[in-house]
Amino acid sequence: MTSTNGATLSAPSATKHVLGVLVENHHGVLSRIAGLFAARGFNIDSLTVSATEDSSMSRMTVTLCGDTAVIDQIRKQLDKLAEVVTVEDLTEQGAHIERELVLVKIAYPREKRTDLLEIAATFKARSVDMTPETIAFEISGNQEKIDNFLTMITQDARIVEIARSGVVALVRGPGGLRKSFYED
């Protein structure tokens, strides 16, 4: 998206944002939200949906890059959707916990196995499947940690396949999206 004020997604001032979105647990709401991003040309890095502590709501976590003007516009557009209960920019709020779960299967030369297992141990990745040619790891963490882990293991091995859950996030401290929605 380009706004005429000069803000673009690829602008140098673009930074990563994590949006927490609570939505009415209603048929079709995922496609509605995904449709909004598609129609307005907002590029998102990941989108996850899940049930919540309140069965009448689902929670989406959206990660995307943009400068303040773009993120602000995205938030406001989300706010206009009738099923959106609340939207918060967790990045803006500062302290939040962010995790992604990754399953990655690598093919490795036999002599590198110990090295790879050591790297895995350093990153607290668990090996969850192993054959003479491949290992599957499970790792969770923030994206930076995961990216570092992948960089390290691909020095001696090749990724056969990878599945990433997308980012999920919570605000730190006693608060939460639903709490602040009802209390605000």
The residue among 62 and 136 lying less far from another protein, judged by its C-beta, is: 62
DSSP class of residue 53?
Answer: S
80 binds another protein (CB under 8 A): yes
Of the candidate residues 10, 43, 51, 76, the single one contacting another protein (CB under 8 A):
76
Dihedral angle over CA of 70, 76, 79, 82, nearest 10: -100
Give SS3 for 88.
strand
How many residues can be counted in the chain? 184
> Does 25 participate in binding another protein (rule CB under 8 A)?
yes
Could you tell me which residues come within 8 angstroms of residue 22 by beta carbon, excluding any fewer than 6 positions away? 52, 57, 58, 59, 60, 84, 85, 86, 177, 178, 181
Token reading at 131? 């054959």
User: Taking CB under 8 A as the rule, which mask of x and - marks residues 132-171 in contact with another protein?
Assistant: ----------------------------------------
- Asked if 28 interacts with another protein (CB under 8 A), we say yes
Which of 4, 86, 12, 70 shows the shortest CA–CA distance to 37?
70
83 contributes a contact to another protein by CB under 8 A: yes
Residue that is written with structure tokens 């001032």 in the block: 13
Does 3 contact another protein by CB under 8 A? yes
Shortest Å, Cβ 103 to another protein? 31
**Closest approach of another protein to the CB of residue 7, in Å:** 10
Residue 111 DSSP code: G
Residues forming contacts to another protein in the complex (CB under 8 A) are 3-5, 22, 24-28, 31-32, 35, 39, 56, 69, 72-73, 76-77, 79-80, 82-86, 181
